[in-house]
Amino acid sequence: MNGTVYLVGAGPGDPELLTLKARRLLGVADAVVHDHLVAAEILTLIGPGAEKIFVGKKGGAFCCPQRNIEDVLIGLAREGKTVVRLKGGDPFVFGRGGEEAEALVAAGVPFEVVPGVTSALAAAAYAGMPLTHRAHSSAVVFLTGHEDPNKPDSAIHWEDYAKLGATLCIYMGMKNLETITRRLVAGGLAPDTPAAVIQSATTGAHRQFVSTLGRIALESEHAGFGAPAIVVIGAVVNLSEKLAWFAKKAASVPAVATSASEWNSTA
């Protein structure tokens, strides 16, 4: 009989944002197939006898093609194993979890999805930027700045999103940020619209940079910001000046994150 594959979201980086169900599954899994951005502290929760298989992608350098990852999941399940496919953030938000689920269905392998805290929600929360606010924004849009390179054309018409009056959250957008912001301005979004880059959100390396839509690409590059990062565009960004609780805490506490051994013993 086939085993079961669990598509599990590991959250944005802070190990304490991992769900209870995800933690339980890591302890009983026979094999864990994990990505690059999964926090080291979370990997310590994997049971001692489980097989660990790294299939991460970093900076566009593909460690393992997507089709190979799907074959790994199917192969492990057909051995009767309980398999955790551990992904940063949420498996169904720019995590290719849908593709993997389709492959599992086609192969007759049972699966379950365990949602995780997706990066945009966590990054904005830790940066003090409420994605919706009655006085500033009644809608939020998640977008990807990195699409399938095999597509003949971009599926994202950035100019259209300039007209929504919504908070825009852009995943994987640093490489193309200058093009993205230029197209949003061309679509009618004011160049002085508040914008921010939040790098390594929720971790000890968390840092954020606030500017405007017209200047964020160049200024964040000069400030040394890069992936992994979330870009937030909209009026709510300005609230960060008084609501950025995590940055203030980091400035007042010598060590924001516990070590892997400390967290593992208390989680």
Which positions ≥6 away from 102 have C-beta within 8 Å? Answer: none
Mean pLDDT over residues 104-121, rounded? 97
Mean pLDDT over residues 158-174, rounded? 96
Determine whether 35 is an active site residue: yes
61 pLDDT more than 60: no
More confidently predicted of 57 and 221: 221
User: In terms of residue numbers, what domain contains 202?
Assistant: 120-250
Domain match, 113 and 139 both = no
**pLDDT more than 90, % of the chain:** 83
Domain match, 83 and 130 both = no
Burial of 253 (0-12, 13-18, 19+ CB in 10 A): exposed
pLDDT per residue over 177-190, tens digit each? 999 999 999 999 99
pLDDT of residue 255: 41
Locus of tokens 């597509």: 151
Domain match, 75 and 145 both = no
pLDDT of residue 2: 87
Which positions ≥6 away from 215 have C-beta within 8 Å? Answer: 191
Domain match, 153 and 206 both = yes
Q: Which CATH number does the domain housing residue 35 bear?
A: 3.40.1010.10
Mean pLDDT over residues 106-122, rounded? 97
How many structural domains does the chain have? 2
Count the alpha carbons within 13 Å of 5 in the hemisphere toward its beta carbon: 31
Domain match, 89 and 161 both = no
pLDDT of residue 150: 54
254 pLDDT more than 80: no
pLDDT of residue 151: 53
Catalytic residue among 35, 81, 87, 90: 35
| Domain stop point among 117, 134, 154 | 117
Residue 247 has a CB neighbour count (10 Å cut-off) of 16
Domain match, 92 and 34 both = yes
Catalytic residue among 14, 81, 129, 172: 172
Domain match, 102 and 128 both = no
158 within some domain: yes
Domain match, 125 and 110 both = no
267 within some domain: no
Determine whether 57 is an active site residue: yes
Catalytic residue among 30, 57, 71, 175: 57
Mean pLDDT over residues 112-131, rounded? 97
Domain match, 127 and 246 both = yes
Domain match, 105 and 182 both = no
Domain match, 26 and 98 both = yes
**pLDDT more than 70, % of the chain:** 88
Q: Nearest to residue 213, comparing CAs of 184, 174, 188?
A: 184
126 within some domain: yes
DSSP string, the chain: ----EEEEE-BSS-GGGS-HHHHHHHHH-SEEEE-TTS-HHHHTTS-TT-EEEE--EETTEESS-HHHHHHHHHHHHHTT--EEEEESB-TTSSSSHHHHHHHHHHTT--EEEE----HHHHHHHHTT--S-BTTTBS-EEEEES---TT-SS-S--HHHHTTS--EEEEES-STTHHHHHHHHHHTT--TTSEEEEEESTTSTT-EEEEEETTTHHHHHHHTT--SSEEEEESGGGGGHHHH-HHHHHHHHSS-SS--HHHHHHH-
pLDDT of residue 143: 97
Q: Which CATH number does the domain housing residue 167 bear?
A: 3.30.950.10
| Domain stop point among 117, 140, 164 | 117
Domain match, 173 and 112 both = no
Mean pLDDT over residues 86-91, rounded? 96
264 within some domain: no
User: What average pLDDT does the structure give for the chain?
Assistant: 90
**pTM confidence score:** 0.87
Determine whether 172 is an active site residue: yes
